Amino acid sequence: MFPLNDGGMVSGLVCGFLFGYVLENAGFGSPCKLTAQFKLTDWSVLKVMFTAIVVAAAGLFALKQIGWINPDNVFVPTALLMAAAVGGILVGSGFAVGGYCPGTSVVGLFSGRLDALVFLIGLLLGTFAFAGLYGPALEALMALGEVETGDTFSDAWNIPEWLMVALLMAALAGVFVAGSWFERRSRGPVSAREAVDGAQASTGPSPASSSITAH
């Protein structure tokens, strides 16, 4: 019966290694590529995230159906909607300004980017600021909008899990269709070469890379 609920060093290192390996290969160490999602010229962030969410959600659903996974031992975030909404605004803004989200800043640093180290220092400062302001007012804000009936769509509102997985698959198809449409009508995804060269002054492709697109 799964999950194994292993909290040891080996599972941490192995899962983390694979996570970092895939993120770097997706191009998510590059702040130029990551923020191009918000300019709608490179949809890799949404394409990769939605594909991963669908694979993992469908996998967990299937494993629960055949009784291999005990859902009681799988962690689900508490449905604190105000905290999630305001936190999402701040992390999204920080991503647009700083060029990374917390996880991808580690990938950026270990592909040689010193600005990612500065972003990580910023993360620590933001954490200290939060700890300094933490108190009854902040706790009250974070407690707003809690869904009392449950943390998942199925528990809270009786929406069947298979329907949620199906909706996610439809959303995934939508992301790929819309994303590829936007990419064709703009400068398109940031290539590995452009990412390694770093962000350039102009928003178009760097002259060096445009000369090799033919090969």
Q: Report 115-144 residues binding other proteins (CB under 8 A).
A: 115-116, 118-132, 134-135, 138, 142
Closest CB to other proteins among residues 13, 170: 13
Closest CB to other proteins among residues 134, 181: 134
Q: Distance between CA 132 and CA 124 in Å, rounded?
A: 12
Among 55, 166, 170, 177, binds other proteins (CB under 8 A): 55
Nearest to 34 by CA among 103, 100, 123, 109: 100
Residues 6+ apart with CB under 8 A from 209: 191, 193, 194, 197
Q: Distance between CA 134 and CA 131 in Å, rounded?
A: 5
> In angstroms, how far apart are the furthest CA atoms of the chain?
61
Among 17, 140, 170, 177, binds other proteins (CB under 8 A): 17
Among 24, 169, 182, 187, binds other proteins (CB under 8 A): 24
43 belongs to the binding site for other proteins (CB under 8 A): yes
CB atoms within 10 A of CB 60: 17
Among 169, 182, 187, 191, binds other proteins (CB under 8 A): 191
Enumerate residues 57-86 that contact other proteins by CB under 8 A. Answer: 57, 59-60, 63, 69, 73-81, 83-86
Among 143, 144, 156, 170, binds other proteins (CB under 8 A): 156
CA-to-CA separations, 110 to 24, 36, 149, 191, in angstroms, rounded: 9, 21, 42, 19
Q: DSSP character for 145?
A: T
Enumerate residues 193-212 that contact other proteins by CB under 8 A. Answer: 193, 195-201, 208-209, 211-212
Q: DSSP character for 111?
A: T
Token couple for 139? 């706790």
Nearest approach in angstroms of CB 174 to other proteins is 14
Nearest approach in angstroms of CB 51 to other proteins is 2
Among 91, 166, 170, 178, binds other proteins (CB under 8 A): 91
